């Protein structure tokens, strides 16, 4: 069996360390240099020759810096004769750029997938892509995990007798339904239209939420525009309380504090796919390190990943 070698970029060192601890392998050092002309250089400081190499980098702020670092790590591993290079990308930020919904716009999700392959990435392990079709942007194998198992385990500890799961939009309704099934709950969904990065409109909620305890489930919370709009509709329709859950807690523009300040929001739950400096009494962060480590171990050993993380 080839030796495994795990390297982490600078986007989320805590998660890399946690994954390595679960795998019981050392984290290999990476030297990152920035030259006077602002260019980056990466040196992987451990042997890669004929190794099964994993480079872990979440594409979070500063996304462009972290992306280039990931590309350089993959290039360095390939150049150092790695047997296989797998990019572990807990949050693939460019997945939101997945369609041409305005004239002359770029489709970053596809371009970044191509860049990763060009840099030397042989396979990708990622978590909850914004839309499932982004998986198809990659010309190399992708193991696409979700965090529904972790989120469901968290909510199973609650009294769910009066609860309904609500997806903010129809696009995520399928995942919300899968999540609701795990908990034996009904599901509802918002009719959402995104006007711009800072404006969304939810005109209706399809399903019954009056007097119910709601779990809002989304793939990510960025500025919180979506969830705030949904909260307005839920209040109008007489929801009793709201817990907010997502995989990627990005919480831009102080979204966490704003959300936690809402009296009817009882709790906010996300995973550690993105690093979170802020803490809040209403916030619970679930670790995806065990799931990612298990997937890495299975990829390394040539075992099924899908059987573990069935959608």
Q: Which residues of this protein are in contact with ligand R5P, per CB under 6 A?
A: 168-169, 172, 200, 218-226
Rounded least distance, CB 167 to ligand R5P, Å: 9
Catalytic residue among 33, 192, 258, 282: 192
Check the CA dihedral 178-179-184-187 and report its sign: negative
For residue 135, the SS3 value is helix
Residue 125 and residue 295 in contact, taking contact as beta carbons nearer than 8 Å = yes
Nearest to ligand R5P of 71, 145 (CB atom) = 145
Minimum distance from residue 129 beta carbon to ligand R5P (Å): 11
250's CB contacts (< 8 A; 6+ apart) are 60, 91, 220, 221, 222, 274
Taking a C-beta distance cutoff of 8 angstroms, is the pair 311, 178 a contact? yes
Q: 99 an active-site residue? A: no
**Of 57 and 167, which CB lies nearer to ligand R5P in the complex structure?**
167
Q: Which of 225/271 has CB closer to ligand R5P? A: 225
Residue 157, number of CB atoms within 10 A of its CB: 7
CB of 2 to ligand R5P, least distance (A): 38
Cβ distance to ligand R5P smaller for residue 163 or 222: 222
What is d(CA 115, CA 20) in angstroms, rounded to the nearest whole number?
26
CA distances from 257 to 128, 135, 267 (A): 24, 33, 12
CA-CA distance, 271 to 151, in Å (whole number)?
A: 8
How near is the Cβ of 216 to ligand R5P at its closest, in Å? 10
Half-sphere exposure of residue 196: CA atoms within 13 angstroms, side-chain side: 2
Strands, E, within 146-256: which ranges?
A: 163-167, 187-196, 199-206, 213-221, 241-249
Residue 193 Cβ vs ligand R5P, minimum distance, rounded to whole Å: 10
Q: And the tokens for 279?
A: 């803490």
Residue closer to ligand R5P by CB (options 98, 122) is 98
Question: Can you read off the two tokens belonging to residue 220?
Answer: 């990510």
Closer CB to ligand R5P, 155 or 251, in the complex = 251
Distance CA 303, CA 311 (A): 17
Least distance to ligand R5P from the beta carbon of 91, Å?
11
Residue 189 and residue 176: Cα distance in Å, rounded?
8
The residues annotated as belonging to the active site are 192
């Amino acid at each position: 069996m080839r030796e495994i070698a795990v390297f982490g970029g600078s986007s989320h060192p805590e998660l890399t360390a946690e994954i390595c601890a679960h795998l019981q392998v050392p984290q290999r050092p990476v030297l990152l240099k920035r030259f006077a002309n602002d260019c980056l250089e990466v040196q992987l400081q451990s042997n890669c020759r004929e190794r099964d190499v994993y480079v872990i980098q979440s594409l979070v702020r500063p996304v462009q810096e972290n992306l280039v670092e990931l590309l350089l790590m993959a290039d360095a591993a390939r150049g150092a004769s790695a047997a296989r290079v797998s990019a572990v990308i807990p949050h693939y930020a460019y997945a939101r750029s997945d369609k041409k919904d305005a004239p002359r716009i770029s489709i970053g999700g596809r371009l970044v997938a191509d860049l990763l392959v060009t840099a030397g990435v042989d396979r990708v392990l990622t978590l909850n892509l914004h839309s499932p079709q982004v998986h198809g942007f990659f010309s190399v194998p992708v193991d696409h995990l979700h965090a529904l198992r972790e989120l469901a385990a968290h909510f199973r500890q609650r009294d769910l007798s009066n609860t309904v799961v609500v997806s903010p939009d129809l696009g995520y309704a399928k995942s919300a339904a899968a999540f609701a099934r795990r908990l034996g709950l009904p599901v509802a969904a918002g009719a959402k239209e995104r006007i711009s990065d800072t404006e969304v409109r939810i005109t209706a909620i399809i399903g019954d939420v009056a007097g119910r305890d709601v779990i809002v489930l989304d793939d990510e919370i960025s500025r919180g525009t979506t969830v705030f709009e949904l909260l307005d509709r839920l209040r109008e329709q007489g929801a009793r309380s709201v817990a907010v859950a997502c995989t990627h807690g990005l919480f831009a523009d102080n979204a966490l504090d704003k959300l936690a300040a809402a009296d009817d929001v009882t709790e906010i739950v996300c995973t550690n796919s993105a690093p979170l400096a802020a803490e809040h009494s209403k916030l619970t962060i679930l670790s995806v390190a065990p799931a990612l480590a298990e997937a890495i171990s299975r990829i390394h050993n040539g075992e099924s990943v899908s059987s573990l993380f069935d959608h």
